[in-house]
Amino acid sequence: MHQDKREHIITKAIELFAEKGFEGSSIRDLASIADVNIAMVNYYFGSKEKLYEAVIEKRVLYMRDFIDNVLSNTSLSLIDQLDLIIDGFVNRFLSDPLYHRVLQQELLVSKRAQMHQRIIELIIKNAKDVINIIEKGIRNKEFKKADPELIFASILGTISQVMLSKTLCNCLMEKPIEFNPYADKKIQQRLSAHIKQFVHALLTK
Partner DNA sequence: AAAAACAATTTAAACATTTGTTTAAATTAA
Partner DNA sequence: TTAATTTAAACAAATGTTTAAATTGTTTTT
Positions that interact with a second copy (CB under 8 A): 19-24, 101, 104-105, 107-111, 116-117, 120, 123-124, 127, 146-147, 149-154, 156-162, 164-165, 167-168, 171-173, 190-191, 193-195, 197-198, 201-202
Determine the Cα angle at 129 with ends 69 and 203, to 5°: 110
Cβ-contact 62, 123 below 8 angstroms: no
Provide the minimum distance between the beta carbon of 48 and DNA in the complex, in angstroms, as a whole number: 4
Residue closer to a second copy by CB (options 39, 109) is 109
- Partner from a second copy, DNA, none binding residue 28, C-beta < 5-8 Å depending on class: DNA
Q: How do the residues of the chain divide into helix, strand and coil, expressed in percent and rounded to 5?
A: 75, 0, 25
Alpha-carbon torsion (68, 73, 78, 84), positive or negative: negative
Residue closer to a second copy by CB (options 38, 120) is 120
Residue closer to a second copy by CB (options 34, 151) is 151
* 117 CB neighbour count, 10 Å cutoff: 10
User: What dihedral do alpha carbons 178, 181, 184, 187 form, nearest 10°?
Assistant: 140
- Partner from DNA, a second copy, none binding residue 5, C-beta < 5-8 Å depending on class: DNA
Contacts of 129 (CB under 8 A, 6+ apart): 67, 71, 85
Residue closer to DNA by CB (options 38, 150) is 38
Residue 174: how many CA atoms within 13 Å on its side-chain side? 0
- Partner from a second copy, DNA, none binding residue 1, C-beta < 5-8 Å depending on class: DNA
Cβ-contact 195, 156 below 8 angstroms: no
Residue closer to a second copy by CB (options 8, 116) is 116
- Please report, as ranges, the residues that interact with DNA according to CB under 7 A: 1-2, 5, 25-29, 36-43, 46-49
- Partner from DNA, a second copy, none binding residue 6, C-beta < 5-8 Å depending on class: none
